[in-house]
Amino acid sequence: MLYWTLVFLVVALVAGVLGFGGVASAASGIAKFLFVIFLILFVVSLVAGRGWAA
C-alpha cells in the first residue's frame, strides 16, 4: 500500500510540474488517503501483534 502511495505522489508531482492542476490535485488526494489507511493498518497490526505476544 505504501508503494501505491508513493506512485500517486510521483504522479501528482509530475502533473503539477507539467501544469495539470486537476490531475495533480486528484493524485495528491488519493496519495493522502492511501497514506492514512496505511498508517491505520500499521498501527493496528502493531497493537494486535503486541497483544498476542504478551
- Which grid coordinates belong to 22? 486537476
Write out the residue range of the structural domain in which residue 15 sits.
2-53
Greatest Cα pair distance, the chain, in angstroms, is 53
Domain count along the chain: 1
* Cα separations in angstroms, 20 against 4, 17, 40: 20, 8, 30
For the residues 7-33, what does the mean pLDDT come to? 92
pLDDT at 51 over 70: no
pLDDT at 21 over 80: yes
How high does pLDDT run on average in the chain?
88
